[in-house]
Amino acid sequence: MSYANSKIPSSAQVGVHEHLARLVGRHAGTPFRKPFADYNLHAVDQALAGWDGRAELILDAGCGVAHSTIALARAHPEAWVIGVDQSAERLERRKPYPASLMPDNLVLVRADLVDFWRLLSARGLRLARHFILYPNPWPKIGHLGRRWHAHPVFPTIPTLGGSLELRTNWRVYVEEFSLALGLLIGREPTWEDYDGAEGLTPFERKYRDSGQTLYRLFVELGDIALDGSRSAVHASGQCHRESHQ
Ligand SMILES: C[S@@+](CC[C@H](N)C(=O)[O-])C[C@H]1O[C@@H](n2cnc3c(N)ncnc32)[C@H](O)[C@@H]1O
């Protein structure tokens, strides 16, 4: 596929998946006990080794070739910026940035976010900003459980606090993400069309230059209690959804 000719995800699914709310409710009420892989335990140590313990933390989750991580580190020199991706090959590809031009308030680590998010939360860490930029959409109807908002790790995300920003080129993804997060935090985050002018990531630039509509969800998660339970859900483990104002 040539550049600027990319397609929006094609799917037989045109709206929110009928099983999403049930799945989110189940995940919110069930402890996710998958054991941590050693390489992810090591990755968290590596990610925090250069942190002074005081600087605001910014996480670029699924950073790919890390162009966005580098841009975020430049824009927030006072923060400690962590880029995480499961692909070592992508992380190493971070051309056109030679080591000498890399900001020194940044670290890139290879890890599985399924563990990495939970390990940050287990350490009681809070993020100032959290970016999930163009996650794999998994558009097949049967792949719902692979989308972040339908994954058992999802209730961990609001426990990390701060502001959370999702960008995607699939409208269904942002609709579902908003609904799922709303079920957890009791208010459905707003989202909007986004022109991609910032060109923060290679995927953003490619989709924008292909003339696609992009979507951006932004929410201040604020001070959500880290009480050892799954997240901001009801103590009963049931999802909680307030009526819209
Ligand atoms: C579509 S790419 C987007 C990359 C980048 N954010 C961008 O916009 O250019 C999705 C990225 O998420 C990463 N990813 C997917 N699942 C992951 C996981 N479980 N843990 C860490 N990274 C993951 C992939 O390796 C890939 O680099």
Let me know if residue 77 belongs to a domain: yes
Let me know if residue 109 belongs to a domain: yes
CA-based R_g, the chain, Å: 17
Question: Are 132 and 148 within 8 A, CB to CB?
Answer: yes
The pair of structure tokens assigned to 86 is: 């499961």
Let me know if residue 187 belongs to a domain: yes
Let me know if residue 105 belongs to a domain: yes
Ligand 1 centroid, distance to 234 Cα (angstroms): 31
Does any ligand 1 atom lie closer than 6 A to the CB of residue 202? yes
- Of 123, 233, 220, whose CA–CA distance to 242 is shortest? 233
The residue whose CB lies within 8 Å of the most ligand 1 atoms, and thus the one to mutate among 40, 65, 86, is: 86
Does any ligand 1 atom lie closer than 6 A to the CB of residue 150? no
Does any ligand 1 atom lie closer than 6 A to the CB of residue 136? yes
The residue whose CB lies within 8 Å of the most ligand 1 atoms, and thus the one to mutate among 87, 119, 214, is: 87
Residue 36, domain extent: 20-222
The answer to whether the peptide bond before residue 152 is cis (omega within 30 degrees of 0) is no
- Give residue 2's pLDDT: 62
Ligand 1 centroid, distance to 78 Cα (angstroms): 25
Q: Kind and range of the H or E element at 136?
A: none
Let me know if residue 73 belongs to a domain: yes
Mean pLDDT, the chain, integer: 89
The residue nearest atom 13 of ligand 1, judged by CA position, is 62
Does any ligand 1 atom lie closer than 6 A to the CB of residue 63? yes
Query: For 170-177, what is the mean pLDDT?
Result: 97
DSSP states along 32-74: --PPPPHHHHHHHHHHHTT--SSSPEEEEET-TT-HHHHHHHH
Q: How many domains does one find in the chain?
A: 1
Question: Are 43 and 83 within 8 A, CB to CB?
Answer: no
The pair of structure tokens assigned to 225 is: 């209690």
Let me know if residue 2 belongs to a domain: no
CATH of the domain at 144: 3.40.50.150
117-162: per-residue pLDDT in tens? Answer: 999 999 999 999 999 999 999 999 999 999 999 999 999 999 999 9
Query: For 35-41, what is the mean pLDDT?
Result: 98
| Direct distance between the N- and C-terminal alpha carbons of the chain, in angstroms, rounded to an integer | 44
Q: Kind and range of the H or E element at 228?
A: none
Encode 1-20: b = buried (16+ Cβ within 10 Å), e = exposed. eeeeebebbeeebeeebeeb
Ligand 1 centroid, distance to 46 Cα (angstroms): 19
The residue nearest atom 3 of ligand 1, judged by CA position, is 134
- Give residue 143's pLDDT: 96
Query: For 53-68, what is the mean pLDDT?
Result: 97
- Which ligand 1 atom is at minimum distance from the Cα of 113? 20
The residue nearest atom 15 of ligand 1, judged by CA position, is 62
Query: For 70-77, what is the mean pLDDT?
Result: 96
Task: Classify 132 as helix, strand or coil.
Answer: strand
Let me know if residue 4 belongs to a domain: no
Place of tokens 């056109």: 96
The residue nearest atom 14 of ligand 1, judged by CA position, is 62
- Which ligand 1 atom is at minimum distance from the Cα of 67? 9
Query: For 29-44, what is the mean pLDDT?
Result: 96
